[in-house]
């Protein structure tokens, strides 16, 4: 299968939002939270990388991704160089990082482009009847808060949804949360142990948060994670 780029635009420094279409299918079927695998030739070798689908399933063959460009990386710079109409090999969606059914109260914890599967889940699953969800989103600087307007609007529409951005390197004017996501975990949990935790981002955050939760007596079955590196 091939994915053809429709358009991409910058949403934060070194981060782009991509709109693709999957060629040869009328509809790309997947569950919010899953990923596609994209492959390209790198010096005569096929290199494949996974990318979380960043939107709820469309009614057609379109899908969205959110990517940061890894300096010296094999695939992400190639994706950043793609022009509308260019295409790349892809494998259909896969993955187990999806909302458990029936959904329970949850804390979503994302760093950087780890926000992508949560955007998909929230678009697909957040309704007036959803259980409470807190989205703890950690980035370095305010300009890196991708989709901030969308999450803010969701929090205004759905009172049970809390959007908590936190900056690890806040500028002087920032009056919101600061520090790593770990620093806000206890407050997000509010002493509760009967919530599900979903983590997505780089290994360091993932491992740190899981160690904290384990020390607090959380069951492994309540913790769902996707590691990007």
Q: Interface residues with ligand FAD (CB under 6 A)?
A: 35, 49-52, 65-68, 70, 72-76, 113, 116, 226, 228-229
Q: Which residue is nearest to ligand FAD (CB)?
A: 73
Q: Which is nearer to ligand FAD, 70 or 223 (CB)?
A: 70
Least Å distance between CB 131 and ligand FAD? 25
Minimal distance, residue 6 CB to ligand FAD, in Å: 17
Handedness of CA 127, 133, 134, 137 (dihedral sign): negative
Residues 6+ apart with CB under 8 A from 162: 132, 133, 134, 135, 155, 188
Distance CA 129, CA 159 (A): 11
**CB of 133 vs ligand FAD, minimal distance in Å:** 20
Rank residues 171 and 229 by Cβ distance to ligand FAD and give the closer one: 229
CB of 132 to ligand FAD, least distance (A): 25
* CB 150 to ligand FAD: min, Å: 16
Nearer to ligand FAD, 73 or 103 (CB): 73
Residues near 228 by beta carbon (within 8 Å), at least 6 away in sequence? 112, 113, 114, 200, 201, 202, 203
- Closest to ligand FAD by CB, 65 vs 189, is 65
Shortest gap between Cβ of 81 and ligand FAD (angstroms)?
12
Backbone phi, then psi, for 218, in 5-degree steps?
Answer: -70, 140
Q: Considering beta carbons, is residue 31 or 189 the nearer one to ligand FAD?
A: 31
* Phi/psi at 18 (5° precision): -115, 140
Nearer to ligand FAD, 16 or 184 (CB): 16
* Concatenated DSSP letters of 22-63: ETT-S-----TT-EEEEEEEETTEEEEEEEEB-SPPPSSSEE
Q: Write down the residue that tokens 């780029």 correspond to.
A: 5
Token pair 């989709």 is at which residue?
A: 147
Place of tokens 């910058």: 10
């Amino acid at each position: 299968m091939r994915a053809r780029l429709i358009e991409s635009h910058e949403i934060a420094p070194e981060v782009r939002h991509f709109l693709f279409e999957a060629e040869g299918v009328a509809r790309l079927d997947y569950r919010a939270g899953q990923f596609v695998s994209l492959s390209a030739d790198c010096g005569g070798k096929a290199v494949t990388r996974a990318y979380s689908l960043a939107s709820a399933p469309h009614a057609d063959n379109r899908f969205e991704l959110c990517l940061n460009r890894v300096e010296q990386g094999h695939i992400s710079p190639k994706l950043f160089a793609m022009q509308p109409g260019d295409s790349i090999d892809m494998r259909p969606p896969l993955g187990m990082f999806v909302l458990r059914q029936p959904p329970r109260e949850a804390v979503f914890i994302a760093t950087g482009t780890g926000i992508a599967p949560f955007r998909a889940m929230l678009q697909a699953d957040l309704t007036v009847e959803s259980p409470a969800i807190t989205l703890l989103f950690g980035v370095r600087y305010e300009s890196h808060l991708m989709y901030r307007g969308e999450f803010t609007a969701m929090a205004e529409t759905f009172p049970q949804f809390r959007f908590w951005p936190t900056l690890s390197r806040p500028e002087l004017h920032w009056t919101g949360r600061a520090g790593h996501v770990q620093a806000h975990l206890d407050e997000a949990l509010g002493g509760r142990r009967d919530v599900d935790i979903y983590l997505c981002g780089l290994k360091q955050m993932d491992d740190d948060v899981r160690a904290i939760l384990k020390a607090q007596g959380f069951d492994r079955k309540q913790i769902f994670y996707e590691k990007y590196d």
